[in-house]
Amino acid sequence: MLTIKRLDQAEAQMLIAGARQKAKEIGVPMCIAVTDEAGQLIAFERMDGGKVTSTTIAIDKAFTAAAAKKATHEYGAASQPGNPTFGIHSAIGGRLMVVGGGLPVVVDGDVVGGIGLSSGTPAQDMECAQAGIDHLLSQL
């Protein structure tokens, strides 16, 4: 497998293609965001029918996953009252997402970016995000 340290446009489009295909299979039009390793947006697609309100959510899920190097659902579990990161969702101007659907993109042990999806349930968003990563890794 090739070693990449950051995502380029071709790789970002592979992530989107894999996520889009899974979204079509499950019948949920999604907003799909891809960020670089620093959490900066490099690619985005709002599928026909994707929720307008999900645009920002998808972008912030990808941001969180890449910049914090942690899946958003892991933050969700850790940020419940009484847990060590309670209230983290209000950090960085509220950009840190604690709802499932944002995954870090890891290649050869390095976080090279993030993918975030929104418009379905958290489980559907996570399933489509993972499909995007699986598609990318199968192409490298």
Kind and range of the H or E run holding 76: helix 72-78
Report how far apart, in Å, the C-alpha atoms of 17 and of each of 6, 31, 32, 73, 93 are: 18, 12, 10, 22, 30
Rounded mean pLDDT, 40-66: 97
Q: Is the pLDDT of residue 20 over 70?
A: yes
Amino acid at site 1: M
- Higher-pLDDT residue of 21 and 94 is 21
The predicted structure's pLDDT at residue 4: 59
The predicted structure's pLDDT at residue 1: 47
- Higher-pLDDT residue of 101 and 96 is 101
Q: Is the pLDDT of residue 97 over 80?
A: yes
Percent of the chain with pLDDT over 70: 97
* Confidence at 80, pLDDT banded by 50, 70, 90: confident
Mean pLDDT of the chain: 93
Q: Pick the closest to residue 55 from 65, 44, 69, 66 (CA basis).
A: 44
CA dihedral for 114, 118, 122, 128, sign (positive or negative): negative
The predicted structure's pLDDT at residue 3: 56
